[in-house]
Structure 1
Amino acid sequence: MHRNSYSLAALAAAAVPGLVPVRTAPIATPAEDLDVAGVVGEDDRRVVVSSPASTAAGVRLEKDLRVADALTGSPLRGVIPPVLGFVKLPEGGRAVIAQAPAGHPLMLDELAGSTALARSLGAVIARIHTVPRYAAEAAGVESFTAPALRAQHSEQLQRALSTDHLPAAVAQRWEHLLADEELWDFTPQFVHGDMSEENLFCSGGRISAVQDWSAAKVADPASDLAWLISTLDPERFDELYAAYREELPTASHPRLVERAQALGEFAVLEWLLHGLDSGDEVIVSDARGMIEDLHRDLAQLAREEAERTYEGLQGQASD
Structure 2
Amino acid sequence: MHRNSYSLAALAAAAVPGLVPVRTMPIATPVEDLDVAGIVGEDGRRVMALSPASTAAGVRLERDLKVADALSGTSLGGVTPPVLGFVKLTEGGRCAVTEAPVGRPLMLDDLAGGPDLARSLGQVLARIHTVPRYAAEAAGVESFTAEVLHAEHRTRIREVTEAGHLPAAVAQRWQALLEDEELWDFTPQFVHGDLSEESLFVTGQQISAIRDWSSSKVADAATDLAWLISSLDPERFDELYAAYREELPTSTHPRLMERAQALGEFAVAEWLAHGLEIDDADIVADARGMIADLDADLAQLARDEAERTYEEMSSREDGAI
- Pair in the same fold by TM > 0.5: yes
Shift in Å, 1:112: 1.9
Shift in Å, 1:318: 1.0
| In structure 2, distance between residues paired with 1:226 and 1:199 | 15
How many matched pairs?
319
The reply to whether residue 142 of structure 1 matches residue 142 of structure 2 is: yes
Shift in Å, 1:111: 1.2
Shift in Å, 1:14: 1.0
Shift in Å, 1:4: 1.2
| Cα deviation 1:271-300 (Å, max 9, x = unaligned) | 010011111111111100000000000000
The reply to whether residue 100 of structure 1 matches residue 100 of structure 2 is: yes
Partner of 1:251: 251
Is 24-33 or 303-312 further displaced after alignment?
A: 24-33
| In structure 2, distance between residues paired with 1:239 and 1:280 | 37
Shift in Å, 1:165: 1.6
Partner of 1:277: 277
| In structure 2, distance between residues paired with 1:59 and 1:271 | 24
| In structure 1, distance between residues paired with 2:260 and 2:28 | 28
- Which amino acid counterpart does residue 308 of structure 1 have in structure 2? R
Shift in Å, 1:30: 2.1
Partner of 1:161: 161
* Percent identity of paired positions between Structure 1 and Structure 2: 74
| In structure 1, distance between residues paired with 2:244 and 2:315 | 42
| In structure 1, distance between residues paired with 2:78 and 2:195 | 17
Is 166-175 or 309-318 further displaced after alignment?
A: 309-318
Shift in Å, 1:160: 0.5
Partner of 2:89: 89
Partner of 2:126: 126
- Which amino acid counterpart does residue 289 of structure 1 have in structure 2? G
Partner of 1:286: 286
The reply to whether residue 220 of structure 1 matches residue 213 of structure 2 is: no
Partner of 1:300: 300
| In structure 2, distance between residues paired with 1:72 and 1:204 | 23
RMSD (Å), alpha carbons: 0.8
The reply to whether residue 45 of structure 1 matches residue 82 of structure 2 is: no
Shift in Å, 1:164: 2.4
Shift in Å, 1:27: 2.3
| In structure 1, distance between residues paired with 2:204 and 2:313 | 54
| In structure 2, distance between residues paired with 1:251 and 1:263 | 21
Task: Answer yes or no: is the 8 Å Cα contact 2:103–2:201 preserved in 1.
Answer: yes
Task: Answer yes or no: is the 8 Å Cα contact 2:28–2:198 preserved in 1.
Answer: no
Shift in Å, 1:113: 1.5
Q: Secondary structure at the match of 2:18?
A: coil
Partner of 1:184: 184
The reply to whether residue 65 of structure 1 matches residue 72 of structure 2 is: no
Shift in Å, 1:126: 0.3
- Which amino acid counterpart does residue 255 of structure 1 have in structure 2? R
The reply to whether residue 80 of structure 1 matches residue 65 of structure 2 is: no
| Cα deviation 1:111-151 (Å, max 9, x = unaligned) | 12221110000000000000111001111111111111111
Q: Secondary structure at the match of 1:196?
A: coil
| In structure 2, distance between residues paired with 1:48 and 1:214 | 17
| In structure 2, distance between residues paired with 1:136 and 1:212 | 15
Name the TM-score, length of structure 2 as normaliser: 0.98
Partner of 2:19: 19
- Which amino acid counterpart does residue 207 of structure 2 have in structure 1? I
Q: Secondary structure at the match of 2:207?
A: strand
- Which amino acid counterpart does residue 301 of structure 1 have in structure 2? L
| In structure 2, distance between residues paired with 1:213 and 1:131 | 13
Name the TM-score, length of structure 1 as normaliser: 0.99
- Which amino acid counterpart does residue 189 of structure 1 have in structure 2? Q
